Amino acid sequence: MAGIYIHIPFCKTRCIYCDFYSTTRSDLKRRYINALCEELTMRRDYLKNEAVRTIYFGGGTPSQLEEEDFRQVFDALSALYDLNACEEITLEANPDDLTEDYVAMLRRLPFNRISMGIQTFDDATLRLLNRRHNALQAIEAVDRCRRHGFHNISIDLIYGLPGETDERWKCDLHQAIALDVEHISAYHLTYEEGTPLHQMLQAHRVNEVDEDSSVRFFTTLMDTLSAAGYEHYEISNFCKPGFHSRHNTSYWQGIPYLGCGPSAHSFDMHSREWNIPSLEKYISAIEEKNRLYEKEELSLTTRYNEYIMTSLRTRRGIDLPTLKKRFGQELSDYCTSMAVPYLKSNKLEQQDNHLQLTREGIFVSDGIISDLMFVEE
């Protein structure tokens, strides 16, 4: 099985916290869609005939595309791959793009999952973040998607935002639960260098939340969503039973994927590639039947470390027989020996040949993951 990631870099406006590659150059949209389809064709053999299980349109803001754009991309995909085994096709969308007509249009396409960037239901904070929607638009967008027949809806939330309080975070969570969505991703705000938000932090116009508050917010997140019936299946992701993100899970399980578009990454289990993060250079190169990208051959140790990092973030944890099969006895023994202190302190547990974080271990997961990684001397 394999996945395909399609990067749509267009945004109407840039959010002040975002460091993903995006652009407001909507005038290049037509050339970009043509180039994207050409890249798909150029790289048709990358997945080595693996069945495509998931497709994910991310961004940027994929909901900036129109029906003819999507149809052109799906036509290209269908000509290159047998999509009959495809279980999940996700569109990332902004709430204000999801008008009645737009959602009706999406139902005419193969999408069966919507991932909506809501971030918070506090209008003042949405304005600060330069989001284009307000809380009411977000609530109405979820309802609109539901009425048009989407039964797999995910929303993104961010906590630790400037001015965050326990009460405000609880309100965000209760509103999310009231929407009855199938999936919730919740991320702690990070101040990425080069973003306007980071510049505001440096100028003391906003303040980071303290560590105690961060721990409290995360505890509230786990307790509130668990009580509402959501499974905590990855550190930042919660779902109703059976509604985990199949595409993102493939990343965490080390399944191959093809990524197309500027800045998109690809992985074939032995190497990683990433396209140039420039829309103009990307388009020009593809139009010349070329492709500008970098590639890293992954050593056994690098692949082991990535497996530890991604697997231990999930509730499933590290599959010890798979670890031994993929990376050999020496690295398998290293992992289990380094895990011993954490098993004794109840920060790790072993169940059915899987090494998993306990609830206590989740709070110090970065340190545990770091200790289980192998550092070559």
| Contacts (Cβ under 8 Å, ≥6 apart) of 317 | 311, 354, 355, 356, 357
User: What distance in Å separates the CA atoms of residue 287 and residue 285, rounded to the nearest whole number?
Assistant: 5
Residue 105 pLDDT:
98
Residue 377 pLDDT:
61
Domains and CATH numbers, the chain: 2-251 (3.80.30.20), 301-372 (1.10.10.920)
Q: What is the pTM of this model?
A: 0.95
Rounded alpha-carbon distances, angstroms, from residue 224 to 149, 156, 171, 262, 358: 27, 16, 11, 38, 18
DSSP 34-88: HHHHHHHHHTTTTTTTPPEEEEEEEES-GGGS-HHHHHHHHHHHHHHS-GGG--E
β-pair partners for 89: 55
In this predicted model, what pLDDT tens digit does every residue of 167-210 receive, in sequence order? 999 999 999 999 999 999 999 999 888 888 889 989 989 899 99
Question: What is the side-by-side strand order in the sheet with 237-239?
Answer: 231-234, 237-239, 183-188, 153-159, 113-119, 88-93, 52-59, 2-8, 257-260, 265-267, 271-275, 293-297
| The one-letter amino acid at 217 | F
To the nearest 10°, the Cα dihedral for 138, 144, 150, 152? 20
Question: Is 45 within 8 Å of 298 (Cβ atoms)?
Answer: no
In this predicted model, what pLDDT tens digit does every residue of 148-173 receive, in sequence order? 999 999 999 999 999 999 999 999 99
Question: Is 252 within 8 Å of 313 (Cβ atoms)?
Answer: yes
User: What distance in Å separates the CA atoms of residue 307 and residue 327, rounded to the nearest whole number?
Assistant: 10
Residue 133 pLDDT:
94
Reading the chain (377 residues) residue by residue, the pLDDT tens digits are 899 999 999 988 878 788 777 888 889 999 999 999 999 999 999 999 999 999 999 998 999 999 999 999 999 999 999 988 899 999 999 999 999 999 999 999 999 999 999 999 999 999 999 889 999 999 999 999 999 999 999 999 999 999 999 999 999 999 999 999 999 999 999 988 888 888 998 998 989 999 999 999 999 999 999 999 999 999 999 999 999 999 999 999 889 999 999 999 999 999 999 999 999 999 999 999 999 999 999 999 999 999 999 999 999 999 999 999 999 999 999 999 999 999 999 999 999 999 999 999 999 999 999 999 998 76
In this predicted model, what pLDDT tens digit does every residue of 267-291 receive, in sequence order? 999 999 999 999 999 999 999 999 9
